[in-house]
Amino acid sequence: MQVDQGNRQLTFEARLSRNSETIDSVLGSSVDVQKREFMLCGKPDHKGICYFLDGMVDSQAIDGILRALVVLGNELNLDPASLRSADAIRTRLMYSASAKLCGDASDGVQGIVSGDTLVLVDGLEEGILVSTRGWKDRGIEEPSSENNVRGPRDGFTESIRSNTAHIRRRIKDPKLRFDSMIVGTRTKTDINIAYIEDLVKEGLVDEVTRRLGDIKIDAILESGYIEELIEDAPLSPFNTVQSTERPDKVAAALLEGRVAIFVDNTPVVLIVPTYFWQFIQAPDDYYDRYWVGSFFRIIRYVAFFISLLLPSVYVMLVSFHHEMIPTSLALTIASGREVVPFPVLLEALLMELAFELMREAGLRMPKPIGQAVSIVGSLIIGQAAVQAGLVSPFMVIVVAITGISSFAIPSYTSSLAIRLFRFPILIASGLFGLLGFATMFFALLLHALSIRSFGEPYLAPASPYRHSEQRDMVFRLPIWMMDKRPQFAQDTQREGDRQMPRPGKGKS
């Protein structure tokens, strides 16, 4: 950050009054800017000032700094010549390992607004920055958007350093790296790039760093800003960057050779590259027995196709292809639609929009009220619409099953994309029948085949087909069979040979 006044660069000088005016001219008269004057070692001719922001610092740390500068320095009877050296003051009076010299006013101001304390002493052309960050953080909780039955209950918070510590606790590997960046010309948001040095895909860290470095924006308020500015297909509804609030998912991704992007002030961490199939997978798949994990993963795949295609298939069959419906079922559907005044396409669109409206209302309202509105409102409105003859009972069932299936998808952001795709397929099916349905579906498939996530094909390992990665795509094979990492990792060997349990025989 460049601190200037007009065209004149502001720098520290040997006069305390001048340095104080420099800081005051930049920070202004903001009520949270605090100045504490002191006398170094209790000597009136060695005055100083501490600058910090109220609410951003630990008050006990501030008291410790002032006590060291005033009381401890007096007790040590330091040589007066040493008081003319900022480095001597830092090393002999400051017991904080984070204390560092600051020779430029821009660095000093940036430290203050980040929660550090700037110490200025009369006669010194350098300041001393001490890390005193101590704002209140939200407690660690289980992410409400990514529930699981078995597994860790902790989740990320808004503190970037607390979030990186979650990963350190899980991966005690000296090769784990966290690179730091600052993005946002006004917010100066801290960003950490996490990876395991000898596993990460070659060139991936450089590519992530380049894309983040190319961002020129005034504010980064949430990781969603970063996601939109670094993804490979910015015009596609598909998510080519995975987001999560679960530390165990991030740790698993790093161990596969991926990169995680931590953004300060948000609990959502980004993971790249990602495959489409990862949005269908859940942590429970790996914590339960592989038979159970595979079964429920298949259930989620079924839920994915139902939530995407069921309304379109129903509208297509009822509007154009009656012969594909069993006779008894066709008669039942026809009897339910006798009093409905709308075409089946318009009926489906009205019901889908009403369902989305109630779901959004339930999400935005206070939690105790929102759940009641979304559930009871759907039942009452659906029943009233059927009795009034506005919709058929079969349409209510189709829309309800579709909505329930969308809730079975673990990734909330991915389920949003599916909800969007549902409407163009539905409209094409209602207007052109099987031709419209097939055309729109294959256009969607071709689009997914064409996009990439940081150089990796989005539909890999299905396309292109990678045999070694099929063990964790549709089915989740036993842990002792998943001995390979994705092919892009530097070291693809995950575990040793012959890990299948052999009771009484050993593994050798």
* Residue 505 predicted with pLDDT over 70: no
Q: Are 308 and 279 in contact (CB under 8 A)?
A: no
Mark whether 222 and 242 lie in a shared domain: yes
Mark whether 172 and 79 lie in a shared domain: no
Residue where a domain stops, chosen among 81, 114, 131: 131
Mark whether 270 and 305 lie in a shared domain: no
Structure token digits, residue 318: 């009822």
Question: Could you say which DSSP state residue 245 is in?
Answer: S
Is residue 269, in this structure, part of any structural domain at all?
yes
- For position 380, what pLDDT does the model report? 73
Mark whether 294 and 421 lie in a shared domain: yes
Mark whether 265 and 334 lie in a shared domain: no
Mark whether 266 and 300 lie in a shared domain: no
Q: Are 204 and 273 in contact (CB under 8 A)?
A: yes
Return the higher-pLDDT residue of 8 and 491: 491
- For position 220, what pLDDT does the model report? 95
- For position 256, what pLDDT does the model report? 94
Is residue 186, in this structure, part of any structural domain at all?
yes
Structure token digits, residue 321: 């292809």
Mark whether 429 and 358 lie in a shared domain: yes
Which region among 32-41, 76-85, 387-396 has the lowest average model confidence (pLDDT)?
76-85
- What confidence category does residue 81 fall into, taking pLDDT thresholds of 50, 70 and 90? low
Return the higher-pLDDT residue of 390 and 432: 432
Angle, helices 412-432/393-407, rounded to nearest 10 degrees: 150
- What confidence category does residue 379 fall into, taking pLDDT thresholds of 50, 70 and 90? low
- For position 436, what pLDDT does the model report? 94
Mean pLDDT of the chain: 87
Structure token digits, residue 463: 């396309």
Query: For residue range 22-40, what is the model confidence (pLDDT) as tens digits?
Result: 898 888 888 889 999 988 8
- What confidence category does residue 245 fall into, taking pLDDT thresholds of 50, 70 and 90? very high
Q: Are 409 and 280 in contact (CB under 8 A)?
A: yes
Total domain count, the chain: 3
Is residue 486, in this structure, part of any structural domain at all?
no
* Residue 84 predicted with pLDDT over 50: yes
Query: For residue range 85-124, what is the model confidence (pLDDT) as tens digits?
Result: 788 788 777 766 678 888 888 888 989 998 899 999 888 8
Is residue 466, in this structure, part of any structural domain at all?
no
- What confidence category does residue 74 fall into, taking pLDDT thresholds of 50, 70 and 90? low
Mark whether 350 and 440 lie in a shared domain: yes
Instruction: Calculate mean pLDDT across residues 167-191.
Output: 93
Helices (H), 159-289: 160-170, 204-213, 223-230, 247-254, 284-287
Mark whether 49 and 127 lie in a shared domain: yes
Structure token digits, residue 127: 């300041």
- For position 7, what pLDDT does the model report? 38
- For position 199, what pLDDT does the model report? 94
Instruction: Calculate mean pLDDT across residues 39-63.
Output: 85
Mark whether 324 and 375 lie in a shared domain: yes
Q: Comparing C-alpha atoms, which of 157, 143, 87 is closest to residue 119?
A: 87
- For position 442, what pLDDT does the model report? 95
- What confidence category does residue 79 fall into, taking pLDDT thresholds of 50, 70 and 90? low
Which region among 114-118, 137-141, 243-247, 340-344 has the lowest average model confidence (pLDDT)?
137-141
Is residue 234, in this structure, part of any structural domain at all?
yes
Which region among 43-52, 112-121, 359-368, 487-496 has the lowest average model confidence (pLDDT)?
359-368
Q: Which domain holds residue 116?
A: 4-131
Return the higher-pLDDT residue of 170 and 360: 170
Is residue 42, in this structure, part of any structural domain at all?
yes
Is residue 247, in this structure, part of any structural domain at all?
yes
- For position 67, what pLDDT does the model report? 85
Q: Are 82 and 76 in contact (CB under 8 A)?
A: no
Residue where a domain stops, chosen among 239, 274, 309: 274
- What confidence category does residue 1 fall into, taking pLDDT thresholds of 50, 70 and 90? very low
Query: For residue range 425-438, what is the model confidence (pLDDT) as tens digits?
Result: 999 999 999 999 99
- For position 6, what pLDDT does the model report? 43
Mark whether 266 and 298 lie in a shared domain: no
- As a whole number of angstroms, the distance between CA 451 and CA 238 comes to 9
Residue where a domain stops, chosen among 245, 274, 303: 274
- As a whole number of angstroms, the distance between CA 300 and CA 282 comes to 10
Query: For residue range 279-297, what is the model confidence (pLDDT) as tens digits?
Result: 999 988 899 889 999 999 9
Mark whether 392 and 306 lie in a shared domain: yes
* Residue 65 predicted with pLDDT over 80: yes
| Per-residue CA distances from 265 to 159, 191, 367 (Å) | 6, 10, 23
Structure-token match 């842990």, residue found? 479
Is residue 504, in this structure, part of any structural domain at all?
no
- As a whole number of angstroms, the distance between CA 229 and CA 362 comes to 30
